[in-house]
Structure formats: C-alpha cells, structure tokens
Amino acid sequence: MVRTASRKMAAVANAPAPAPAGPPDVAVEHLTHVYETANGAVKALDDIDFEVPQGKFVGIVGPSGCGKSSLLLMLAGLLQPSEGRIVVREHALTAPRPADVGVVFQEASLLPWKTALENVEFPLKLRGTARAERRDRALELLELVGLADFRDRLPHELSGGMRQRVSIARGFSQDPKILLMDEPFAALDEQTRLTLGDELLKIWTRHQKTVIFVTHSLTEAVYLCDEVLVMSHRPGRIIDRVTIPLERPRTYEMMATETFGHLRERIWRSIRTT
Amino acid sequence: MVRTASRKMAAVANAPAPAPAGPPDVAVEHLTHVYETANGAVKALDDIDFEVPQGKFVGIVGPSGCGKSSLLLMLAGLLQPSEGRIVVREHALTAPRPADVGVVFQEASLLPWKTALENVEFPLKLRGTARAERRDRALELLELVGLADFRDRLPHELSGGMRQRVSIARGFSQDPKILLMDEPFAALDEQTRLTLGDELLKIWTRHQKTVIFVTHSLTEAVYLCDEVLVMSHRPGRIIDRVTIPLERPRTYEMMATETFGHLRERIWRSIRTT
Amino acid sequence: MPATAVSPSAASAPRIRRGPWLPPRALGLLTLAALLLAWEVLPRLELVPPVLVAPLSTVLESGVASAGTFAEAMGVTMVEIAFALVFAYGVGGILGLVLGSVKPLRGAVLPLVSSIYAVPFIVAYPLLTAWIGIGMESKVIFAGIYGMFPMILATAAGVRTVDPAFVRAARSMGATRAQILFQVLVPAAFPSILSGLRIAGSLVTIGVVVAEMLASTAGLGFLITQYRSMFQTPEVYFGIILVLCLTGFLDFLIGCVERKAAAWRPRKELI
Amino acid sequence: QDVIRIGGTANYGPVLPVKAAEKLGLFEKAGVKMQFTNFAGGAQSMEGLAAGEADLINYFPPGLALAKARGVKATIVGASTTTPRGWAIMVAKDSPITDIKQLVGKKVGVTTNGATTDFFALWAAKQAGGAITRVPLGGGGLVPGLLAGNVEAISTYPPLTYRLALGGQARILVDLGSAMSANLPDVWIASDEVINKKPEALRRALVALYSAIKYMQDNPDWTLKLLEEQAQLAPDIAKEEFKQTIMGLSSTGTLKEADVAASLELGSLAGNVKMPDPKSLFTDKFVPVQTISP
Amino acid sequence: MTQRASYLAVQIAILAAILTGWEIASRSGAVNAMLLPPFSEVATQMGRMLVSARFLENLGVTALEVVLASAIVAPIGVLIGLVLAESPYLGAAYRPFFFFLTGVPKSIFLPIFILIFGIGISQKVAFGVFQAVFVLVIATMTAASSVAPELVRLAKVSGATRWQIYREIYWPAMLPIVIEGMRLGVIFNITGVIFAEMSVSRAGIGALVAEWGRNFEIANLIGGILITALLCIAINESLRWYELRVGKWRQ
Ligand SMILES: Nc1ncnc2c1ncn2[C@@H]1O[C@H](COP(=O)(O)OP(=O)(O)OP(=O)(O)O)[C@@H](O)[C@H]1O
Ligand SMILES: Nc1ncnc2c1ncn2[C@@H]1O[C@H](COP(=O)(O)OP(=O)(O)OP(=O)(O)O)[C@@H](O)[C@H]1O
Ligand SMILES: [Mg+2]
Ligand SMILES: [Mg+2]
C-alpha cells in the first residue's frame, strides 16, 4: 500500500528534467526472481513494480545482495524472470535488445584479449560500423574517461578503476536508448567519480537517454537522479521512491545545500529501516 | 623537498592511537616500479618513501591508476620493486610472508570451487588449523560480515558485494600482523561500509594490528585512519601525509564535526592539486 | 631511516635470478644429441640387434640412396595429411563450437560423440577399407574423422569453461550467435582449442600413416611396412624420420598460431 | 629344465601342433618346457626372435634370408609344410576371371609386401605372364577388399581359403597346393644362440612338435575335435583343414636343399633382392626327428 | 534431473536409430551382409563371447593391462605436463620433444618395446603408457597454463606452500581439462594395448581380434570390437561422471 501510494506521488512530482511525455520506456510488472542453487532456492527479487518514463534518470539503491544486479540483468534481457514481466519501449522483453538496452556491468567483464580501444570498439564492431568510424568514436570515449594514453593496453595491464572506466566507455559506445549501469563508479576516486558523473549527465541530456543507475553512494544518487528507488534487504522489494526535485543542470554547489542534505538523509533513513 | 618536510611533520605529529613505540612495522625506501608491457614501459610508482609504525592505521588515497594496488602488491611480496626496498618487521621483504602480511585484494579473487565458508577457512586450512576450530572461526567471521546464511554458497552464487565481504572475512581469518586492504568496501552500500569499518577498527584495536588501507572514500579515510598518505597521478608519488588527530574510539558523531570536515577538505584539496 | 639491521646486500638490489648454467635450448639440443649418439652407437656395438634398430648413419645413407622413392611417398602422405587436417580442423572445430555452446546439444549429443570416439576403429581399419577403399581418399576420410573427434571434444571442453560473463556482455551488446562464437568463444577458449589442434593434428598424422601401413599402395606408411616386412630396417627408420619431419612441420605451424594467440596472456606467475 | 619359447600365429594350421603337443603332454614327455607366444605374422615372429624373445618360430625361407642379411642369427631346423596346400589365389564368386592369365594388369590383394601371400601373388603374375598390382590389405582386409571390389583377386592362406571356398564368398582361381611344386611355405627356424647353447632342449622341443604332428595325422577324430575346439573352426572347415593342411605337414621335418632353393627362388621374384646360398639357411642337425608317442 | 532424463532419452533414441539402421541396412542388402552382418547377429555373437571362458580370460588380461597402464600414466603424464608447463627452463628444453613425439605413429616402436620389456604384460602396459602419455601431457600443460594468476597470488599471500598451491589451486582449477585429457588418454591407451596384443602376445583381446580378422570371422570381429568399445565407454563415462561431480562449481 505504501508502495503504490508513494509511486503515485512520484509520478505526480516528476516534473523537472528534459523528459517528454509518452509511454514509459521501461515498465516492470510484478517481477520476481528465484535462483535455484544446490543448497535450495534464493528469492532475490519479490514482486517488483515500477515504471521509468522516457528520458528519466532513475537511481536504485539498496543493501548489498538485495537483488539490484539481478534486476538489471533482467532488464537487459539476460536473465528470465521467475514471475512477472518487463516491457521495454512498448514491447515485452524476452531477449537482449541491444539497440534499446545497454549495460555497464558491476564487474568490468572486458574481453582480456582485446586492448582498451578494441574493447570500447567492440559493440560498434558487432554492428558492423566501419573501421575508421568506430576507431574515432572509441578514441573519443576513451578520452572522455581519461584513458586515451592507455588505448593499446590490455585489461590485465590496467588498474581496477581503469578497467571500470573502459567498461563505461564501452557502454557509451553501444549508444542504446536505455542505459543500465551497475555501480559503474564504485572503483573510482571521488574526483574521477564527479567528473564522470557530469559527463554521464551531459550525454544523457544531449542524447535524450533513459538511465537506470545502481549506486551505493547516496550523494551520487541525489546528485544524478530524477528519482531514486530504494530496495529492501533480500528478497529485494521496492520500499521507497524518492523524487529529487533539484533543478537541472546540477552543480557541485547544490551538494552543500540543505535540500540536498535532506534528500540524502531521507534516502539514508529509508535504507536503514530495511 | 616538500615530501621530506611533510614526512618529518607526520612523524612528529603521530602521537595518538594505541601504537607502542619501537621500530616501524613497515618501511618503504625509494620504492619505484616500472611495468614492462608490449607497448613500452609504464612507471607506476616513483621513489616512494614511508614508514608505518607498529599498530598504526594508515590510509592511502589517490586517483585511479596512480599505483596504489601496485604498492600493496609489493608490500605483500607479490611484486618485485624495480628499485628501492621494503622492510617488514625488520626484515627485508623478498617473498610473501603470510604470517606477517595479509592482503584483501581489490578484486575479491575467491576460489570459485570453494563455498563462502571454505574460502574463509582457506588460510587456516593452509596452516593446518584443526577442522573444527577453523570452521568455528570462519563461521564467526562470516557472521561478522553478515553472510552466515550464505556459508554454503559458491562465489558465483553471491552478489558482488557479498563476494567482497567474503574476501574481507578471509583476510581477517588469516590474522596477519599487518593487514593490507585494497578498497575493501568499494562494492558495499554505505550502511554495510560503516558497520564493517567499525568491525575493522575493533579487530585492529583488539589485536594490535597494523593496517594499510586503500580507499577512494575520503570520509572513510578520515574516519578510520591515523594517517592518510595522498598519492599523485601516475607515476605515483606520495605528495602529502595527513595526520588524523581525532581521538579513538571514533564515533559517527565525529563525522559531523568541523575538524572532520576540515581534514576531509584538506585531503580533497591535496588530491585535486595532482 | 629505520634503525634496524638488515643485511644490505640482500635487499638493496632486486633479486637477480642467476641464469642457469646452460640455456634451455642448449639442454634440449644436448639431449637430442645424446639420443642420436645412442641411436648410432648402440646398434653399432650390437647392444641392440641391428635388425630392430639400425645405426643412424646407415639410416641416413640408405634413405639418401632411396631418396626418390621416399620423396614420392612423402608427397602422397603430405597431400593426404593436408586434406585430412582441413577436414578435421574445419568440421571438428565447428562441431565442437556448436556442441559446446548449445546447451541441449551439449547435454544430449556430446556424450555420444565421446562414446563413439571410444570405439577403436583403427583396429577395424582393414574391414573399413571395404567401404572407404584403399586409395588416397580413404586415408583422408579415415584420418580426417579420426582427428575430428579430439578436435570436437577439446573445442567443446574449452567453450564450456569460458567465463559466462564474457558471453553475457557480448549478448547485451547485440552479438549474434556467430559473433559470439567467433569473437568471444573462440578467443576465450583458445588454449583448449590449441591443444585440440595439437592432438587432432597428431591423430591425423597417425591416422594417415597407420592407415597406409595397414592397407595401401603408396605413402610413407606403406613404405615403412613394406621395408619392415623385408627387414630393411634402415629404410624403416628413415621413413620414421620423415614422419617426424612432418609432425615437426605441423607442430611448427601450430606453434606460430600459439605464439600469436597467446600474446595477450599475462606472464605466468612462477611458484 | 630348459625352456624353449616358440613363436607363431596361434591357430594357424602349421602352428597348431604346438598346441596339440602341449595337450598331449609331449613336451613334458620329451623333457622340455615350452612357452608359446602369439605373433601377428611371420615377420613379427622374426622380430621377436631378433629381440631375443623367441627361440623357435614358424616362418618361411625368403623371410629368413632377408632377416639374415640384416644380421639376425637364425637357421632353419625343420620343415613344416612342404607344398603350399590350402594356399590359393581366389576371386569373387561371380568374377569373370577364370584363368590365371586374366590376372595380368589386375589388382591382387596380399597381406603385406614381403609376406608369403605376396610372393605367391608374384608367382601367379609370373605364371600369368604379365605384371599385376599387389595391394597390401592386411590379413583382415583381404576379404573385405575382394567383396567390396577394391581388388580383383586375393592371395589366401589356410584356413581362410577353405572358409571362403566352402562359404561361397569367393572362388579358388588357382589352388597353389597343386599348382606349385614343393617350396616350403612354412619352416621352423631357431635362433643360432639356441642351436649352439641349448641344442638338446631344442631337439626335445622338435621331438614333441613332430610327434604331435604324427599323432594328429594318425588320429583324425582327435584332431578334428582339436580344430573345432581350439581353433574354433566349423566342422566342414575343420575337415578341410585336416585333410589339406594337417595332412600336408611333414612329420619328420626332413629338409631338402632343393625345396629351400625353390622357396628362395620365389623370394627373388620380388626383384632387387639377392638370395643367398640355400645351404647357408638350414641345418639338418635335428632332422629327421625320431617321433615318440604320447 | 528431468533434463538429465530427457538427454538420456535422446541418447537412447539416437543409439536405437543407429542400431536399427544398421540392422535394416544389412538385412535389406543395402550393405553387403558378408561385410556387415545384421546387428542382431553380432549381438548374439557378443552374448556368446561374454559367456565363453576363453574370451573372458583374454578380456581379463587386457583389462588388467589397461588398468595398470592407466594407473601408471595418470601420475606420470600429469607430472611431466606440470613440470613442462611450470618450469620455464625444462619446458623450453623438452616441450618440443613431446610435441614431436605426439604425432608419431607409436606402433613403429613396438619392436623396441619388445626388446626392452619382452613380450609379457609389462610390454603391453609400457606400450599403453607410451601411447597415452603424450595427450595427457599436452592436456596437463594446457590446464596448467589456464590457472588464473590471481588465485595463485592469493594462495601465496594466504601462506600456501608450493605443494599447497598445487593441491589447493592448481589441482581443482586444472581438473576438468586434465580429465578430458585423461579420457583421450585412456582411449589411446586401450588402442595401444590392443595394438600391441595384435602384434605379439600370449593372451588378450587383441590377439583374438587379430585372429578373427585374419580368418574373416566377421561377426566375432565386430562383436569383439564393440565389447572393447563398451569397455572404453564405461571408463569414459565414469571419468565424465567424476568430472561433473568435481566440476559442479562451474556455472
Ligand atoms: N547466479 C546466482 N545463483 C544463485 N544465487 C544468486 C546468483 N546471483 C545472485 N544470487 C543471489 O541473489 C541475491 C541478489 O544478488 P544480486 O547480485 O542481484 O545483489 P546486488 O543487489 O547486486 O548486491 P551487491 O550490491 O552486493 O552487488 C543474492 O542473495 C545472491 O546471493
Ligand atoms: N600487470 C600490469 N602490467 C602493466 N601495467 C600495469 C599492470 N598493473 C598495473 N599497471 C599500470 O600501473 C599503473 C598503476 O596501477 P594500479 O593498479 O597500481 O593503480 P591503482 O592506484 O590501484 O588504481 P585503481 O584505483 O584504479 O585501482 C596503471 O597505470 C596501470 O596501467
Ligand atoms: Mg550487484
Ligand atoms: Mg587498484
């Protein structure tokens, strides 16, 4: 009940940001997932319901192991729901739809035999983009994540944070309508985190993307998102939706404001009650 | 020059915390590391010098790719310095010394064929601890990181944060004199992060350990450490040492204090200048 | 500076591993030389009956004397091996990829494949000639199929051990089945595929030569059996040397592929 | 008691007396121990002898001549089969070939080059008056090769010849037993080491062997039973094997230089091989054997 | 569970189809029944063999040789493979020898084995080992090179001795590939033993098979080969079962 109520609220309060009206880009209905393991079943997600209108930036926060990554896998069409369904851009999702949905995974999962540049090029190569074009595009993105000097390095020659940045660049190069990001900045220092967050916002605004963003940093969640979904402990449920009414473009100064502090506090309290 | 000066300062200012006097646990002298790759050499660390007295909690912060993990690998005896040397507990380090130095790696690196429990037991098993005893100890530690229910799960059945927690528990179970931790809490939500930070402090105080702790969270660095080393961009150098004079035991309330804020700010500024 | 006493020499310079007293290549060559020497000397001193092992020099002499015969046979065998290799690698590799990556096939068909492989067809080779004949094509068919099985099995095993995260990432980026196979699974499974190439390669050579030995009118295997039943031991061993040359050449080719493909691997940690 | 290690192809007619002698207790009676090793063929037996793993083997003179040329020290000590009874050139039952002359230019299957079957095929070619192609198929490949049409004729040995003739899978084109003169397709060959160091044991083994032949030839019923049980031959084939092969065995081992020479002549058909003086190949130190009864 | 059952059903169906196809082809004359007698006939013959003391005795000898050879080749092959993979020095020196010899038809060397080991069981066992060892060495080398370096690092700092690293890290990580090599190896081993028996022996299936071939006893020949194959398959399947059991941790 609380859930439905807050959801209505969120829908109403969702005024700002460059989102045009229209059917939601992502609609999740009664989504449940149970993992079968040798030691019995684990219910990872329980009856998840939400919608993400086109062009929104939605954050997901919740305790470790609550099912955030599982949810993202399902949204990407990589994991079949045990119950419920997912509608992406008005079509029920049954398999990956790379043009619509792209993922930046929690663990970088770079192809170890490809250089940083080749990894970023990979989605373009898959769809047959011409060599020169994809090279330019990939280089641009490597520049963006600060790794232009490392274009010819193999993943095992990069630091943890560098690998994660390559993975982010790869997600951008795929250029999907909807970008799912699973703690993309976890391995990065605060400075890089801020810079990349701003770059992400720029890309999001410029290309009218929809972003679903898992993070553990509440500051980051408030700074980036239009709305933050708070998930409960296992089995994951959505226990709160917090709309972030801060205006766009966001600036670092906002972080010091009282509203920002309150919003952060609000989410923090939600999580702690789980 | 700045380096030596600030180091002197740090040595003088290093008064608080439960550290008894005596020779330093870890001494790093003129440490340099150059990686040879197919695309030429990368200087990862340049002339690093520092000492960690016994029983200190030292943090290392610095931008992504500045050489923190490389430094830790060398402190663990897993990577040979190109120049300079490391002295651990009065003996030059040439190979891993598991009784003296333990590591929690940046990437969890659990043994995929062992369950969570067995992974935590692993260091104990290696040194021939009796079955029952090591089981009890491992269970206790799994409990500590909140994974008692997941003792029989294999790593691939755990979430990213859970894997990292298993890895932390394993580091604790090894019970070395000096614990090196490479962004151990990066994949954890803020709540779990705080809890585990406190547990770490408890273990540190109780067992008189020396801890060298890499983190990207400045708040965490200030909250946990006696001293924070700030590293520069590649090639990594130590550009600042910030002594944290907050008294122990630390409490969450301290985070809201002005001193805390200033210290955080001080480190932040140091990093930004890199 | 720490006021601790540390023996300076131990730590000041990074440990330099003292080079072995003999470079490894030299050790290998030395061993080879020892073997060749034994080969020459033992039969000469009649420590082994010369009808079973002929001294190396005699072997080379008689080989050179019948160079024409051997060259012709070698040509035949090489052509057979080449065709059989193409078959074993091509068909075996593709079947291995498919069987290893399509789950139902992997569960239902792969075990059958390895069971069929367990049938010792080579023992029944003379009987098989009724269907496959005795000409060059029969060797190609037999050796091709003989080598195809380990290729299938090794490829499938390699594919199965690929980290699923890679496949997942590629799928989410829109890779088609073929793209997943050739751009993700093949490079990721390469070590195992490589050992498949090696084992299949040797089975092809063995299949061709043994089939020639059992029933044929041309090729190195044919020559070897013929010389053997006529007790022309030096010629037999010259034939063996030629077979070794063929395997050596094949191994050299595989080695080239290996070096190229393994370039990205991190250097192994020494224990 | 000395051991004589006999090598040969098990259940091959001329080698069967070894089994018979064992069954009849003749080795014991003669005062020697015997150990039998099954070799896939004569050439393998010869290698076994060369490796010092057999003392007395069943093979044929040209093979010995070749082996001796490579330094194997062995000598024929007794005749086994004198005429190639049970050996034949066979064709498919509906083959148009009816005369040996028609073999010219045809493919004839043999076991391996240099084997007895091969020399017989060469002999057939000589009779035919033109070249033939010998195709080595291995023992197991002869019949499949013929049935599948890979070769037009095959050179066969007992009891395969009987089996095919009686079973109707193939037809005898030339019965070599009647077409060829005596040429010793089987002889017993001992290593010179045994001949020199243990002549008495060897003599005893030969006594047991030839006594068994004598007994077999004198007791058809017992022998037929042996053929059926030991060699697992069907009754009609066993009968043929007895009549032809067993009855064709020499019961004294007596060696004639002319027979050896005839055999070597066959060997020289293979071309470039120069055959030695027949005298150098055999010794009649042990023959004729005085047989005993079990 | 049900999935396993359905796989089994598919396998049985395929097998049944093959056998039926064989039976029909042979009975209808699509293939020459003299060369490929109907399966029913072969099966009858197999049944007869399996109760014949002579056959079982020989089978027993072969089985013993195979088991001995496998027991010897497993540790030797794995050890050599490990040494060649782990010691850069010995590896660089001797790897080429192994790659070379793998591709040589081993039957050429039979006379040398007779020379060294005589004709008894030891020769068959040694030859079986010789046949199988190379694949196993190659598989072990592949397996050793695929051990993740992170895990080795981890074990080192956790205090593992060299032996513990091999036992705790290398062994489990290598096992699937080693077992795959072992499966290939056992098949090589059996073929090798039978080949050796066919050439020279005092007992064993190989001698029987050779004789059946020589005398064109076709039903016996095929039956004997099938029984040998069943033996191989049994060993193969038990290795696979073991592999599945120890490899459960792989997704
Ligand atoms: N492949 C799997 N097999 C079985 N259980 C799994 C599997 N993957 C995840 N789980 C379980 O599902 C639950 C949710 O996992 P998930 O990875 O979605 O969590 P998360 O919210 O992403 O956590 P984190 O913040 O730690 O990454 C956990 O309890 C985990 O143990
Ligand atoms: N195995 C390697 N081979 C070559 N270069 C390497 C290797 N490991 C690290 N490097 C390089 O060394 C530098 C430092 O890497 P390191 O992993 O120590 O950084 P880090 O400070 O831990 O970064 P992060 O915060 O992103 O984890 C980087 O430039 C990286 O590219
Ligand atoms: Mg996750
Ligand atoms: Mg790092």
Domain of residue A138 covers 110-175
Residues A117 and A200 reside in one and the same domain = no
Strands A101-104 and A178-182: parallel
CA distance A264 to A222: 6
Specify the pLDDT at position A15: 37
Residues B168 and B206 reside in one and the same domain = no
Measured from the CB, is residue B215 less than 6 Å from ligand 2? no
Measured from the CB, is residue B163 less than 6 Å from ligand 2? no
Specify the pLDDT at position A7: 38
Is pLDDT above 70 for A25?
A: yes
Q: Which residue of B has its CA nearest to E164?
A: B126
pLDDT digits (tens, 9 = 90+) for D82-130: 888 889 999 998 889 888 888 888 999 998 888 888 889 988 888 888 8
Measured from the CB, is residue A190 less than 6 Å from ligand 2? no
8 Å CB contact between A103 and A180:
yes
- B254 lies in a domain? yes
> Among C130, C230, C232, whose Cβ lies nearest the Cβ of D144?
C130
Q: Is C242 on the interface with E (CB under 8 A)?
A: no
* Sign (positive or negative) of CA dihedral E230, E232, E238, E244: negative
8 Å CB contact between D8 and D57:
yes
Q: Side chain identity at E25, as an amino acid letter?
A: A
Measured from the CB, is residue A239 less than 6 Å from ligand 1? no
* Sign (positive or negative) of CA dihedral B11, B17, B19, B24: negative
Measured from the CB, is residue A55 less than 6 Å from ligand 2? no
Which letter does DSSP use for residue C212 in this model?
A: H
- C6 lies in a domain? no
Residues E148 and E52 reside in one and the same domain = yes
CA distance B141 to B146: 9
Structure tokens at C143: 């050796």
> Among A159, A190, A271, whose Cβ lies nearest the Cβ of B69?
A159
Strands D153-156 and D3-8: unpaired
Residues E125 and E150 reside in one and the same domain = yes
- C94 lies in a domain? yes
- A50 lies in a domain? yes
> Among A101, A113, A154, whose Cβ lies nearest the Cβ of C187?
A113
8 Å CB contact between D58 and D42:
yes
Element (H, E) at E55: helix E53-86
- C156 lies in a domain? yes
Q: Is B102 on the interface with E (CB under 8 A)?
A: yes
Length of chain C: 271
pLDDT digits (tens, 9 = 90+) for E98-117: 888 887 888 888 888 888 88
- Distance of CA B186 from the midpoint of ligand 4 (Å): 11
- Distance of CA B162 from the midpoint of ligand 1 (Å): 8
Of B175, B205, B228, the one marking the end of a domain is B175
Which residues make up the environment of ion ligand 3, defined by Cβ < 5 Å? A 69, 106; B 159-160
Identify the three-state secondary structure at position D81.
strand
Nearest CA to ligand 1 atom 12: A44
Q: Could you give the percent of chain A with pLDDT greater than 70?
A: 92
pLDDT digits (tens, 9 = 90+) for C87-98: 999 999 999 999
CA dist list (Å): E44 to D232, E16, E36, E220: 16, 17, 14, 10
Q: Which residue of D has its CA nearest to C233?
A: D70
Specify the pLDDT at position C11: 36
Chains in contact with A, where contact requires at least 3 CB pairs less than 8 Å apart: B, C
Mean pLDDT of all residues belonging to chain C: 84
Residues B183 and B271 reside in one and the same domain = yes
Residues B161 and B145 reside in one and the same domain = yes
Domain of residue E85 covers 39-250
Q: Which residues contact D190 (CB under 8 A, 6 or more apart)?
A: D55, D56, D57, D74, D75, D77, D202
Q: Is C187 on the interface with E (CB under 8 A)?
A: no
pTM of the predicted structure, to 2 decimals: 0.85
Phi, psi of B182 (to 5 degrees): -105, 100
Is pLDDT above 90 for E75?
A: yes
8 Å CB contact between A111 and A119:
yes
- Give the ligand whose atoms come closest to the C-alpha of residue B193: 1
Q: Per the CB < 8 Å rule, is E150 touching B109? A: yes
Measured from the CB, is residue B33 less than 6 Å from ligand 2? no
8 Å CB contact between E163 and D5:
no
**Which has the minimum average pLDDT: A144-153, C120-129, C133-142, C176-185?**
C120-129
Q: Side chain identity at A255, as an amino acid letter?
A: M
- B101 lies in a domain? no
Length of chain A: 274
Q: Side chain identity at C107, as an amino acid letter?
A: G
Is pLDDT above 60 for D201?
A: yes
A55-76 residues labelled b (16+ CB within 10 A) or e (exposed): bbbbbbbbbbbbbbbbbbbbbb
- A41 lies in a domain? yes
Structure tokens at A53: 């209108």
Nearest-Cα distance to chain D for C54, in Å, is 9
Nearest CA to ligand 2 atom 26: A161
Q: Side chain identity at B243, as an amino acid letter?
A: T
Residues A130 and A78 reside in one and the same domain = no
Residues E185 and E67 reside in one and the same domain = yes
Measured from the CB, is residue A67 less than 6 Å from ligand 1? yes
Length of chain D: 294
Residue segments in chain B with a per-residue pLDDT below the cut of 70: 1-21, 274
CA distance E243 to C16: 42
Count: domains in chain A = 2
Q: Per the CB < 8 Å rule, is C173 touching A126? A: yes
Angle between helices E121-145 and E88-102 (to 10 degrees): 130
Residues E32 and E52 reside in one and the same domain = no
Mean pLDDT of A223-241: 90
- Distance of CA B233 from the midpoint of ligand 4 (Å): 13
8 Å CB contact between E177 and E163:
no
CATH number (domain holding residue C125): 1.10.3720.10
Q: Per the CB < 8 Å rule, is E201 touching D11? A: no
8 Å CB contact between C217 and D138:
no
- Distance of CA B74 from the midpoint of ligand 2 (Å): 12
Q: Which residues contact C139 (CB under 8 A, 6 or more apart)?
A: C80, C84, C207, C208, C211, C212, C216, C219
Count: domains in chain C = 1
Is pLDDT above 60 for D272?
A: no
Residue whose CB lies within 8 A of the most ligand 2 atoms, among B68, B213, B234, B271, for a mutation test? B68
pLDDT digits (tens, 9 = 90+) for D160-194: 899 888 888 899 999 998 888 888 888 999 999 99
- Distance of CA D288 from the midpoint of ligand 4 (Å): 94
Specify the pLDDT at position D218: 92
Residues E142 and E231 reside in one and the same domain = yes
Domain of residue C144 covers 79-270
Q: Which residues contact B38 (CB under 8 A, 6 or more apart)?
A: A154, C263
Residues E53 and E100 reside in one and the same domain = yes
Strands (E), chain D: 3-8, 33-39, 56-59, 74-81, 88-92, 107-110, 133-136, 153-156, 170-175, 186-191
Q: Which of E180, E190, E181, E175 is nearest to E69 (CA)?
A: E190
Looking at ligand 1, which atom is closest to the CA of residue A36?
4
Residues E32 and E45 reside in one and the same domain = no
- Give the ligand whose atoms come closest to the C-alpha of residue B149: 1
Q: Per the CB < 8 Å rule, is E94 touching C31? A: yes
Q: Before E149, cis peptide (omega within 30)?
A: no
Residues B43 and B115 reside in one and the same domain = no
Looking at ligand 1, which atom is closest to the CA of residue B160?
27
Q: Residue C19's pLDDT band (boundaries 50, 70, 90)?
A: low
Residue whose CB lies within 8 A of the most ligand 2 atoms, among A156, A158, A189, for a mutation test? A158
Nearest-Cα distance to chain D for C193, in Å, is 35
CA distance E56 to D240: 29
Phi, psi of A250 (to 5 degrees): -80, 150
Q: What is the DSSP string of E104-142?
A: S-GGGGHHHHHHHH-SSHHHHHHHHHHHHHHHHHHHHHH
Specify the pLDDT at position D68: 87
- Distance of CA C186 from the midpoint of ligand 2 (Å): 28
> Among B111, B126, B170, whose Cβ lies nearest the Cβ of E164?
B126
- A17 lies in a domain? no
Task: Give the Cα-Cα-Cα angle E244, E250, E251 (nearest 5 degrees).
Answer: 115
- C198 lies in a domain? yes
Q: Residue C8's pLDDT band (boundaries 50, 70, 90)?
A: very low
Q: Before D288, cis peptide (omega within 30)?
A: yes
Mean pLDDT of all residues belonging to chain E: 87
- B187 lies in a domain? yes
Torsion of CA D193, D195, D198, D201, to 10 degrees: 130
Q: Is C252 on the interface with D (CB under 8 A)?
A: no
| Helices vs strands, H then E, count in chain A | 8, 10
Nearest CA to ligand 2 atom 7: A157
Identify the three-state secondary structure at position A44.
strand
- C21 lies in a domain? no
Residues E48 and E31 reside in one and the same domain = no
Specify the pLDDT at position D158: 86
Instruction: Name every chain D residue with its beta carbon within 8 A of the beta carbon of C46.
Output: 71
Nearest-Cα distance to chain A for B171, in Å, is 19
Is pLDDT above 90 for D47?
A: no
Mean pLDDT of A212-230: 92
Structure tokens at A112: 């170890």
CATH number (domain holding residue B270): 3.40.50.300
Q: Per the CB < 8 Å rule, is C4 touching B90? A: yes
Count: domains in chain E = 2
- Distance of CA E41 from the midpoint of ligand 3 (Å): 62
CA distance C248 to B79: 38
Query: Which of D47, D49, D53, D273 best tests the C interface by mutation, with the highest count of C CBs <10 A?
Result: D47
- B103 lies in a domain? no
Mean pLDDT of A160-187: 91
8 Å CB contact between D82 and D184:
yes
CA distance E109 to D172: 38
Identify the three-state secondary structure at position C11.
helix
CA distance E42 to E226: 9
8 Å CB contact between E119 and D53:
yes
Mean pLDDT of D55-66: 90
Structure tokens at A103: 């993922």
- C219 lies in a domain? yes
Instruction: Name every chain D residue with its beta carbon within 8 A of the beta carbon of E118.
Output: 53
Nearest-Cα distance to chain A for C184, in Å, is 8
Q: Which of A28, A51, A176, A160 is nearest to A106 (CA)?
A: A160
Is pLDDT above 90 for C83?
A: yes
- A89 lies in a domain? yes
Specify the pLDDT at position A11: 37
Nearest-Cα distance to chain A for B233, in Å, is 12
CA distance B64 to B106: 12
Q: Per the CB < 8 Å rule, is C2 touching B51? A: yes
Q: What is the DSSP string of chain B?
A: -HHHHHHHHHHHH---SSPPPSSEEEEEEEEEEEEEETTEEEEEEEEEEEEEETT-EEEEE--TTSSHHHHHHHHTTSS--SEEEEEETTEE--S--TTTEEEE-SS----TTS-HHHHHHHHHHHTT--HHHHHHHHHHHHHHTT-GGGTT--GGGS-HHHHHHHHHHHHHHH--SEEEEESTTTTS-HHHHHHHHHHHHHHHHHHT-EEEEE-S-HHHHHHH-SEEEEEPSSSB-EEEEEE----SS--GGGGGSHHHHHHHHHHHHHHHH-
